Amino acid sequence: MEYIGGEQRPGCLFCRVIADPNDPDADLVLWRPEGAIVILNKFPYNPGHAMVAPVAHVATLEDLDDGATTDLMRAVRRTLAVLRESMNPDGINAGVNIGRAAGAGIPDHVHFHLVPRWNGDTNFMAVIDDVKIVNEALTQTSAKLRRAFAAT
């Protein structure tokens, strides 16, 4: 309900937290590598649901130059490794939604979603009521993943 009825802040989430480390949503930032940013999804599908975005404000992968693409993919690779090490998932969904019709919630700034998955992580709430229970507080997940990024 917070997502549906909550205040929608103007501007691009990624550009706001890249430009202003004091932005309220900057608390979700896990890592700021060269040319990219790694941020927790405020409304995750599962604990550890991270988004990896280039610094460049572009809508699609083909608009990135080779250097920005390399920076983005390095950040994706490292984030995958940190998620595996810290969250111990059985698998990870990795994807990019390009355009609103494809499900992009922030269609003007391309980004990867990396969602840790565990065998049996669908519980009865999702089956019966189309509700998802996330079993770890965002602040706990954030602290765990920040420590892992800092350690490697």
Q: Among the options 49, 109, 111, 113, which is catalytic?
A: 111
How many C-beta atoms surround the C-beta of residue 104 within 10 A? 18
User: Is the distance from CB of 137 to CB of 28 less than 8 angstroms?
Assistant: no
Burial class (CB in 10 A: 0-12, 13-18, 19+), 34: exposed
Q: Is 111 a catalytic residue?
A: yes
User: Is the distance from CB of 44 to CB of 121 less than 8 angstroms?
Assistant: no
Phi and psi for 43 in degrees, rounded to 5? Answer: -125, 75
Count of residues for the chain?
152
> What amino acid positions are annotated as catalytic residues?
111
